[in-house]
Amino acid sequence: MNQPVLLKYKGKTQGVYAWAKELGLNATCIYRKYNLGRPIEECLRKSKPTRYLPTDRCSVEGCDERPRTKGMCNTHYMQIFRARDRGRIRDIAKRCYYSRDPRKFMVDSARLRARKAGLPFNLVYTDIVIPETCPYLGIPLIRAVRNRSDNSPTLDKIIPERGYVRGNVIVVSNRANRAKSNLTPAELWMLAKNVSDIVELKGLNVAC
Ligand SMILES: [Zn+2]
């Protein structure tokens, strides 16, 4: 069992709770300072009020942590402090925003691709459903932390020329999406058939 913490101050020795009551302080705060090895006077002094209201939140979009420094939570402040570069600060904020919901990233990058290619676009991120496995190949969809892998979920335009339009998009694996590219279903059939015909013709039998 822990020994009760007795604090000696101005010739008087009593427990933390007694001190807290006498001085109108919070016992937990006294304990915390005491355990940090702060001097007794400091332990029994009222701390400065916190700079932020309990309802304040980190200024990085999508972050629910309490602000600590310059309106940011500790994690984000440290990230930005280390980056010390406006461009990278924006990137970090963006990454934080996207790391909350990958669908937002998918929709934003699809919007850019659509604009570049002059394709129709009308998606919002709530239209996107990320399944457990790739509907084309049946492999599990795993969100990569950094770089895309074969299993990364990606947005596929089912009929490529119809663009990123509600009903024409589906989340598939990066592997399936690369293979399908912008082929139409008819071209895909032709491709699959011709590949397997040629494999057979050349006697390159593979287990499949
Ligand atoms: Zn934050």
Residues 116 and 94 reside in one and the same domain: no
* Domain membership flag for residue 16: yes
| Residues whose Cβ atom is located within 5 A of ion ligand 1 | 58, 60, 63, 65, 73, 76
Owning domain of residue 29 = 6-43
* Domain membership flag for residue 117: yes
Instruction: Look at residue 184 in the predicted model and tell me its pLDDT.
Output: 85
Across 149-156, average pLDDT:
92
pLDDT digits (tens, 9 = 90+) for 94-131: 777 767 788 888 898 899 999 999 999 999 999 999 99
Instruction: Look at residue 47 in the predicted model and tell me its pLDDT.
Output: 75
* Domain membership flag for residue 163: yes
Distance CA 58, CA 40 (A): 33
pLDDT at 158 over 80: yes
What are the tokens at 73? 């939570």
Choosing from 65, 100, 135, the residue where a domain stops is 100
Predicted confidence band at 139 (pLDDT cuts at 50, 70, 90)?
very high
How many domains is the chain partitioned into structurally?
Answer: 3
pTM of whole model > 0.75? no
Phi, psi values for residue 34, rounded to 5°: -60, -45
Contacts with 96 (C-beta within 8 Å, 6 or more apart), sequence order: 60, 61, 62, 63, 76
Half-sphere exposure (Cβ direction) of 177: Cα atoms closer than 13 Å: 20
Residues 111 and 130 reside in one and the same domain: yes
170, 172, 176: which is closest to 158 by C-alpha?
A: 170
Lowest model confidence (mean pLDDT) among 17-31, 77-91, 103-117, 147-161: 77-91
pLDDT digits (tens, 9 = 90+) for 1-20: 466 778 888 888 888 888 88
Residues 145 and 132 reside in one and the same domain: yes
CA 64 to ligand 1 centroid distance, Å: 7
Instruction: Look at residue 124 in the predicted model and tell me its pLDDT.
Output: 92
Residues 119 and 158 reside in one and the same domain: yes
Distance CA 122, CA 120 (A): 7
Distance CA 139, CA 69 (A): 44
CA 154 to ligand 1 centroid distance, Å: 27
* Domain membership flag for residue 206: no
CA 144 to ligand 1 centroid distance, Å: 21
Residues 189 and 154 reside in one and the same domain: yes
CA 111 to ligand 1 centroid distance, Å: 27
